């Protein structure tokens, strides 16, 4: 073996050290450059979408099935889903917070949430789209905002349920600590409630975005009586391809969608999951953590750290200090003039209730006038369809729960498995089942089945992800020390499930089952009424009646069918899900 001279080894060591120092100096610059490039790309996207939205309205848009049109169509769809998600997040936090802390309105708001999540997207369509077009009659932004609001109605409800249930299950000692330190409402929201609800919100955000892709085809291309509203986008591309039986175009559209979903997982969800892992409520730090290169890039960017240190941190400190001073002043003034403020606040509440009652009464009066046009035979058909859809919803729910609960626990307990399974689940959840439905339906017809069985498969494809992602979030939220205790005492598999897993995931599981049930009812509008190769296939069901009424402009049938669906969902929630929610907030609440 040849021995190198000591001087040569010294020179090589100095060169290695010099390269390391150069890399240490240049790497932060590379990170800052990457952040700057992403910022410029976002700015260009805002300019492009503003130019399209504020242009003149385009009444007759022809959807091109050329693969060259896909990049622009995909960009438009991603922007719509992204804006709908931001709107959903703001609404979910505000609605869930108000429902959790306002005892007078809690029951009414949760009942309203039950009703809203059960109303199909197509039932919102006439009022939303006509209102938005009336607001901006000469601009494209009217139809665009209508599509965004419709996507919002398919995304928001499970997020609102998740945040509400998270607030209700906050451990007692954390709430007491916030009270001892006299946290204001804003401080509790930012420093306690949002962090505690972060894991559930993140995973429900993922399934909400997946739900947005599911309903994208209905929101970008729909018919309202004689008016044809369509928008250039990936959803309209896939629906046009499915309607004409162009399987080559369907393949191109699905490949593009999968590429977007994979990119979204790596650029957004993976960093957010890694970031939210620090909010897990546990006494012993877990040895396995989710990693994200993009999160590392953002956290180690010197430019972003300097921006935070010089702007965000001082502004946050100043805001909290000013807010605390104003709060002390308000408390002092309330102590001096408490009775006057109480009377003024009571008068304001009464005025709001009176105005709301007047609006509801006016709408109910006109709705009753519309319902008088429904004939007795049509009413019987609606009840028959409601019974058929009820059976399909429950069958799809049982089939979905049978595999998603064990799979979700396995993914949540094993970070290595999660790194592989979570992107695959995200892709599978985001690919619209309606794009795959022609193949599934044709196979079922050849096997002797039909749309009656196929609708159950489509409902299951569209709603099983609500259960899976909530179970994953629940399994990840179980403290590591509880799992280690179970291992230390050598629990059997049955004991582990009975004493650790099921109690730990129970609040998340109920949220997933509630939203999956509402999603199954919502999915019935697509599952029971489907267009294939210029012909319409439908089966007996409430969803088929809603879709047919929308196509034909029969608003009285649309209203009555929607009311029946909402009434059935609310009844089920009151008899089944509400007691389980109370059980999750009392017996299965995680305490220190």
φ and ψ at residue 530, rounded to 5 degrees = -135, 140
For residues 350-369, give the mean pLDDT: 71
**Quick one: pLDDT at residue 395?**
92
Which of 205-219, 246-260, 343-357, 527-541 bottoms out in mean pLDDT, i.e. has the lowest?
A: 343-357
Which of 49-53, 394-398, 448-452, 475-479 bottoms out in mean pLDDT, i.e. has the lowest?
A: 49-53
Q: Is 23's pLDDT higher than 60?
A: no
How far apart are alpha carbons 475 and 471 in whole angstroms? Answer: 6
Q: Is 18's pLDDT higher than 80?
A: no
Q: For residue 404, what pLDDT band results from cuts at 50, 70 and 90?
A: very high
Q: For residue 29, what pLDDT band results from cuts at 50, 70 and 90?
A: low
Q: Highest mean pLDDT: which of 75-84, 178-187, 415-424, 522-531?
A: 75-84
Q: What is the pTM of this model?
A: 0.68
At 227, is the secondary structure helix, strand, or coil?
A: strand
The structure tokens listed for 39 are 């910022």
Q: Is 3's pLDDT higher than 90?
A: no
Cβ proximity of 236 and 219 under 8 Å: no
How far apart are alpha carbons 344 and 303 in whole angstroms? Answer: 49
What HEC string does 76-118 produce? Answer: HHHHHHHHHHHHHHHHHHHHHHHHHHCHHHHHHHHHHHHHHHH
How far apart are alpha carbons 146 and 84 in whole angstroms? Answer: 10
- Sequence-ordered strand ranges (E) for 406-560: 529-532, 535-538
Cβ proximity of 538 and 548 under 8 Å: yes
**Quick one: pLDDT at residue 85?**
92
At 283, is the secondary structure helix, strand, or coil?
A: coil
Higher pLDDT: 506 or 10? It is 506
The structure tokens listed for 259 are 């590429």
How far apart are alpha carbons 104 and 164 in whole angstroms? Answer: 15
20 forms beta bridges with none
> Quick one: which of 93, 207, 202, 262 has its CA closest to 467?
207
> Quick one: which of 538, 546, 519, 225 has its CA closest to 382?
546
204-261 tens-digit pLDDT: 888 788 778 777 777 777 665 556 667 888 888 887 887 777 888 888 988 888 888 8
For residues 54-76, give the mean pLDDT: 78
Which of 166-170, 271-275, 301-305, 490-494 bottoms out in mean pLDDT, i.e. has the lowest?
A: 301-305
At 379, is the secondary structure helix, strand, or coil?
A: helix
For residues 60-71, give the mean pLDDT: 83
Q: Is 449's pLDDT higher than 70?
A: no
**Quick one: pLDDT at residue 534?**
65
How far apart are alpha carbons 128 and 540 in whole angstroms? Answer: 27
> Quick one: which of 276, 62, 61 has its CA closest to 162?
276
Higher pLDDT: 363 or 463? It is 463
Q: For residue 21, what pLDDT band results from cuts at 50, 70 and 90?
A: low
81-112 tens-digit pLDDT: 988 999 999 999 999 999 888 888 887 787 77
Higher pLDDT: 360 or 339? It is 360
363-389 tens-digit pLDDT: 666 667 777 787 888 888 889 999 999
Q: Is 4's pLDDT higher than 60?
A: no
How far apart are alpha carbons 334 and 480 in whole angstroms? Answer: 45
**Quick one: pLDDT at residue 145?**
82
Q: Is 5's pLDDT higher than 60?
A: no
Q: Is 416's pLDDT higher than 90?
A: no
**Quick one: pLDDT at residue 367?**
67
Continuous H helices in 265-337: 270-276, 293-299, 302-307, 313-336
Q: What is the DSSP letter of 245?
A: T
For residues 572-577, give the mean pLDDT: 83
**Quick one: pLDDT at residue 157?**
83
Q: For residue 406, what pLDDT band results from cuts at 50, 70 and 90?
A: very high
**Quick one: pLDDT at residue 295?**
66
557-567 tens-digit pLDDT: 888 888 888 88
**Quick one: pLDDT at residue 363?**
67
Task: Give the number of other Cβ atoms within 10 Å of residue 30's Cβ.
Answer: 12
**Quick one: pLDDT at residue 561?**
86
At 230, is the secondary structure helix, strand, or coil?
A: strand
Q: Is 307's pLDDT higher than 60?
A: yes
- pLDDT mean across residues, the chain: 76
**Quick one: pLDDT at residue 432?**
62
Q: For residue 341, what pLDDT band results from cuts at 50, 70 and 90?
A: very low
């Amino acid at each position: 073996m040849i021995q190198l001279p000591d001087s040569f080894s010294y020179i090589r060591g100095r060169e290695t050290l010099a390269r390391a120092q150069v890399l240490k100096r240049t790497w932060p610059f590379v990170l800052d450059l990457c952040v700057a490039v992403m910022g410029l790309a976002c700015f260009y996207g805002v300019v492009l979408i503003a130019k399209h939205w504020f242009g003149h309205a385009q009444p007759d848009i022809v959807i091109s099935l050329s693969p060259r049109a896909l990049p622009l169509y995909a960009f438009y769809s991603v922007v719509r889903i992204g804006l709908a998600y931001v709107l959903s997040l703001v609404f979910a936090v505000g609605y869930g917070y108000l429902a959790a802390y306002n005892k007078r309105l809690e029951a009414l708001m949760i009942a309203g949430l039950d009703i809203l999540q059960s109303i199909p997207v197509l039932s919102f369509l006439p009022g939303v789209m006509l209102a938005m077009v009336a607001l901006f009659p000469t601009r494209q932004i009217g139809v665009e905002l209508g599509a965004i609001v419709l996507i919002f109605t398919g995304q928001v409800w499970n997020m609102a349920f998740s945040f509400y249930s998270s607030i209700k299950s906050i451990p007692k000692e954390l709430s007491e600590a916030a009270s001892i330190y006299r946290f204001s409402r804003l401080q509790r929201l930012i420093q306690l409630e949002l962090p505690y609800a972060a894991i559930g919100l993140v995973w429900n955000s993922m399934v909400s975005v997946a739900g947005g892709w599911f309903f994208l085809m209905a929101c970008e291309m729909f018919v309202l009586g004689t008016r044809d509203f369509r928008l250039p986008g990936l959803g309209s591309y896939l629906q046009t391809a499915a309607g004409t039986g162009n399987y080559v175009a369907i393949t191109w559209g699905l490949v593009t969608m999968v590429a977007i979903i994979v990119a979204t997982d790596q650029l957004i969800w993976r960093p957010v999951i890694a970031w939210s892992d620090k909010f897990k409520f546990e006494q012993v730090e877990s040895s396995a953590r989710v990693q994200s290169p993009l999160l590392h890039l953002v956290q180690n960017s010197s430019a972003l750290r300097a921006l935070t240190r010089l702007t965000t941190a001082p502004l946050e400190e100043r805001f909290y200090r000013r807010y605390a001073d104003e709060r002390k002043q308000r408390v002092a003034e309330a102590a001096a003039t408490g009775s006057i403020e109480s009377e003024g606040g009571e008068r304001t509440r009464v005025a709001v209730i009176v105005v709301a009652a007047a609006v509801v009464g006016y709408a109910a009066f006109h709705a009753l006038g519309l319902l008088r046009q429904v004939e007795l035979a049509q009413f019987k058909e609606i009840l028959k369809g409601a019974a058929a859809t009820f059976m399909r919803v429950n069958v799809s729910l049982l089939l979905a729960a049978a595999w998603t609960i064990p799979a979700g626990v396995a993914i949540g307990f094993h970070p290595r498995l999660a790194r592989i399974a979570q992107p695959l689940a995200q892709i599978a959840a985001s690919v619209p089942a309606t794009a795959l439905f022609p193949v599934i339906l044709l196979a079922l017809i050849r096997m002797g089945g039909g749309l009656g069985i196929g609708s159950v498969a489509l409902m299951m494809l569209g709603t099983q992800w609500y259960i899976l992602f909530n179970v994953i979030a629940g399994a990840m939220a179980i403290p590591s020390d509880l799992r280690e205790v179970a291992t230390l005492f050598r629990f059997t598999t049955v004991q582990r499930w009975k004493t650790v897993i099921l109690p730990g995931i129970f609040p998340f599981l109920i949220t997933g089952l509630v939203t999956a049930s509402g999603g199954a009812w919502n999915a019935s509008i697509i599952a029971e009424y489907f267009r294939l190769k210029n012909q319409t296939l439908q089966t007996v069901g409430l969803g088929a009646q809603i879709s047919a009424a929308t196509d034909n402009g029969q608003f009285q049938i649309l209203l009555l069918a929607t009311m029946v669906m909402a009434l059935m969902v609310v009844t089920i929630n009151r008899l089944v899900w509400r007691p389980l929610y109370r059980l999750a907030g009392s017996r299965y609440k995680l305490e220190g």
